[in-house]
Structure 1
Amino acid sequence: MTDEMTARAIRSAWRASEQSLYSIGGGDVERYQLAVRLVRAIVDELGGVRSTDELVDRWPQAAEIVAGALDGTGLTLGALPLDQVAGAAFALRHAALQAEETRRARTELIAAARSDGADWVVLHETGDLLAGFADPYGSTRMHLGSGLAIVAAVQPDLTTGVAVRTLTVVRLDPHTGDLVDDDPGIADLTYSDSASFRSGEAALREVVEETAAAERIG
């Protein structure tokens, strides 16, 4: 298996290739359309790859994989750079695999929390609330009974640009954590300091629980 530092460099190169490939100037529509078709064909060729780690390990065979896609479709690279086309395809497949792995991890967290008899589950938490933009905080806490989730984030104030803490309630699928409604009309709050943010978060949990109880009764 490729070491993590090398894997990060490879993934970064894929993203750069994707950006370069699709930054086709001069209104060359045919070239752009060919790039899209080629990338799609290579992604199909990578359909049997089932994890992001496996995808990284397959990168040294990129030229062979591209050749297989070309043989299967009858397409040609034309003037398109092989490394950019391959990198863009690997980037697209990586995004899909990453989404699958994230969804699978959420589902496992939810199932474990239900098994433990919990009322809430933390689906995501990163960063440091006190670090501002140096290490931006973000979290998603879902109420298991309703799927209502509190999304916390640190982001710039639109007027001053300083870091503010925000709390938003969204509705997720209570079994998978997939987004169902990004604005169920419960809360969209902003705080200037960490202490008020934490108090607001605790109060918002109570609001969510009360809303969930009312929905069950209704």
Structure 2
Amino acid sequence: MRDPGPAPDARQAASELLRLWTAAAERAFAGSAHQPDIYLRTTRLVGAVAQRLRESGRGLEPLVVAWAEHRELVRRVVESSELLTSDGLDVEAVAGAAFAMRYREALEEVTLDDRLAALAQAAPGAGWLVLEESGYRPGDPFVPYRRLEVDPATGRALLVTTRPDETFTACVHTVERGRIDLETGRLASGEPGDGGHVLHEAASAEEREVWVTRLKDS
């Protein structure tokens, strides 16, 4: 049985730590562009630490817990292989880069688990289900909108989004056909046999929702 998802405090903690991790990741590689040896050793160590984090568990909670001893984690990873060294490297930056890398993967895992949990809880014959929704539904050039709907019986999916137009005074509304893998929760563009990627654009939320209804009925 899949984990229903991280507790809200774990999500919040990871989100707050991400700023620190991102800044550290930028610092880890900022000065190594003209130092191939430093760049290689940094990249190798970041990758090894990220792999250790993957082994600690799925999702965001293990990541938040591990950060409490991140310097010790780097030390243990270095000691695990003769190919790794932290000599001359910014250990704090290396740790931050590895955690930032793992955060992106863990967040995707949480998203997939949330989708599968929602699909599992859907009542038989309930019809289309909104799996994800964020932003301003009517459309705002500065507040992106995103909605993912799926038919639990078939995996058919619609991704509804907005983006600013070229003048940033109005929105372009889009509806994209796709398919959710009912085993993994992953979203793929297009449907088998329909010619691949299909994207419909509209000038208003009303016109966009007409496309949504039309595509659901097709």
**Structure ranking higher in helix proportion:** 1
Distance 1:23 1:116, change over 3 A: farther
Q: Which residue in the other structure is 1:189 paired with?
A: 200
- TM-score scaled to structure 2, two decimals? 0.81
Q: Percent identity?
A: 26
- Trace 1:12-161 onto structure 2 (pairs within 5 A): 12-24=19-31, 26-46=33-53, 47-74=55-82, 75-113=84-122, 115-157=123-165, 159-161=166-168
Task: Please list every run of 5 or more consecutive structure 2 residues that lacks an aligned counterpart in the other structure.
Answer: 1-6
The answer to which of 77-86 and 124-133 deviates more is 124-133
CA contact (8 A) 1:172 1:181 kept: no
Cα distance in 2 for partners of 1:38, 1:28 equals: 16
Deviation at 1:93, TM superposition (A): 1.9
Deviation at 1:66, TM superposition (A): 0.7
Aligned pair count reads 205
CA contact (8 A) 1:14 1:90 kept: yes
Deviation at 1:25, TM superposition (A): 5.1
Question: Secondary structure of 2:69's match?
Answer: helix
Residue 8 (1) aligns with residue 19 (2): no
Cα offsets for 1:36-76 (capped at 9, x unmatched): 21012212332224431332232121111111011111322
CA contact (8 A) 1:7 1:56 kept: yes
Cα distance in 2 for partners of 1:84, 1:167 equals: 40
Cα distance in 2 for partners of 1:120, 1:4 equals: 27
Task: Please list every run of 5 or more consecutive structure 1 residues that lacks an aligned counterpart in the other structure.
Answer: 208-218
- TM-score scaled to structure 1, two decimals? 0.81
Q: Which residue in the other structure is 1:211 paired with?
A: none
Aligned CA RMSD, in angstroms, stands at 2.5
Residue 172 (1) aligns with residue 174 (2): no
